[in-house]
Copies of this chain bind each other. A is one copy, B any other.
Amino acid sequence: MKPSGAARRSRRTASRRPPPPEEIEARVLDVLTQTGVQRDVPVVVGVSGGPDSLCLLETLHRLAIPVLVAHFNHELRAEADTEARAVAAQAKRLSVPYLEGRADVSAQARRRRVSIEAAARDCRYAFLFEQARSHDAQAIAVGHTADDQAETVLMHLLRGAGIRGLAGMSYRTILQSFDPAIPVVRPLLGVWRDEILAYCEARGLHPEHDASNDVSVFLRNRVRRELMPQLAEYNPNVRLALWRMAESVASDRDALKELSRARLEQVLLRQTADYTALDAHRLEESSGAVVRLVMRALLEQLTPGQDITYLQISRALQFVQDRGGRIARLAGGIVLSREAGVIYASHGESSLPLDAWPQLPPQRDSILVTIPGEIPLASGWNFIARPLVGPAPADRRSAPEADLFCARLDAERLPQHLELRIRRRGDRFRPLGLRGHSQKLSDFFINAKVPARARTRWPLLCSRDVIVWIAGFKPAEDFRQGPQTRRLAEFLVRRAA
């Protein structure tokens, strides 16, 4: 969201002569238009009584937007009641409704074990959204200024931020945790504080409340009064530089969101209420930086309103890039799993489709294997056995590394009687690479992270009690090809496209 007109105009530095009040109102109108605010539906205006919110109220009223004045008394300071009366008087002067909320914020903070600042914000917004809903307001307008923006991005930067933090506040934003539909708009985000003071003077407004007294903005005040002047020694226009950075980064952030959603669409195979299936190969073609963003777009879609952490994204990226990985559990209950070129994302494992895995067909617990031969499995899967004839050229000897649903074994070492069957109590397996040691099949399944629900009917290529190959894994030690191998047999488990 970047109202370009407002952006263009607020490039004027604060040191110039303040603009006439009509220009401020025109700039506010510009933002309102670009943020989609209608001129005939009420807007709840958060008014503390300070210059910013008085200026906001006045401009909206003069632009003929129907406003409701909402004042929240945090009960944190002695002057709080006086200020509430002053705001009420402003509402009366404009003949617009006055709504007041209050809470013992200190007590809330103690009870919920959060900072005063966080408690104040939560209580205030809860009140504003409650009022917006009950008065059918289209939006909540708050008085954040260009200075607030510069200070905000600086604070984010000091704390540590990526482009989401560096973009600062938006002209229009949805706070999912408060309301999924009513936006918060910030019409003054391109107006500097001294322009606002000049506006108040020109329009005869007399703010009484001084926000800098608020205990809730301690850090912000220190940044404003100490750090900004220190930075101004390096660049007198540092506030403007920070403000512009936020505008520029916000534009790139929006572009990233749009482009990564589009890329997500491109790799999406199907989406049901239970799971999302992605084309693993197409996803893997992208760079890590892009996969990161696609996975973020996916997680945002699956867990709306939840914060997506860097760690979550990193785990998702690692899962995509580590092609051998079968399953990854992310925060928020999201499970990623992979099978035969498809990556599934689901809320918990149980909602995954069973057809994502090869399974013996119902009622058939054992099927004779002939070479060549083909056995239909459940859900469109097939088991194929065939000889690889002629002297095996070097490049055909081993199955493609990544394709664990293909095994090429020494045909002469294979037993005569082969069957495809489900697991039996006491099954053991000697996987390739375990130096001849065998392990319990149940342990193998657990270590290999085969979903529990898919284990019962997982296809095992066996000769009586000996497991030759478990589809999707490396074959048993005993039948692998060696230097003496003359004939190869190939076994494939495939799903019809």
CB of A197 within 8 Å of the partner chain:
no
The segment from A98-106, A157-165, A441-449, A469-477 found at the interface with B is: A157-165
Q: What residues on B are CB-neighbors of A259 within 8 Å? A: 256, 259-260, 262-263, 290, 293
CB of A81 within 8 Å of the partner chain:
no
The reply to whether A158 and B241 contact each other, CB–CB distance below 8 Å, is yes
B231, B248, B249, B292: the one within 8 Å of A158 (CB): B231
CA of A230 to CA of B260 in the docked complex: distance in angstroms?
38
Q: 1/0 contact trace for A157-177 toward B, CB 8 Å?
A: 111111100100000000000
CB of A114 within 8 Å of the partner chain:
no
CA of A92 to CA of B452 in the docked complex: distance in angstroms?
64
CB of A4 within 8 Å of the partner chain:
yes
Q: 1/0 contact trace for A369-407 toward B, CB 8 Å?
A: 000000000000000000000000000000000000000
CB of A283 within 8 Å of the partner chain:
no
The reply to whether B234 and A158 contact each other, CB–CB distance below 8 Å, is yes
State the main secondary structure of chain A at its contact with B.
Answer: helix
**Nearest CB in chain B: distance from A78 CB, A:** 29
CB of A289 within 8 Å of the partner chain:
yes
State the copy count for this chain.
2
**Nearest CB in chain B: distance from A90 CB, A:** 36
CB of A303 within 8 Å of the partner chain:
no
Q: 1/0 contact trace for A254-274 toward B, CB 8 Å?
A: 111011101100000000000
**Residue of B at shortest CB range from A242?**
B157
CA of A263 to CA of B260 in the docked complex: distance in angstroms?
11
Q: What residues on B are CB-neighbors of A287 within 8 Å? A: 254-255, 258
The reply to whether A160 and B241 contact each other, CB–CB distance below 8 Å, is yes
CA of A293 to CA of B248 in the docked complex: distance in angstroms?
12
CB of A334 within 8 Å of the partner chain:
no
Give the 3 A-B CB pairs with smallest separation, nearest first.
Answer: A160-B241, A162-B248, A255-B289
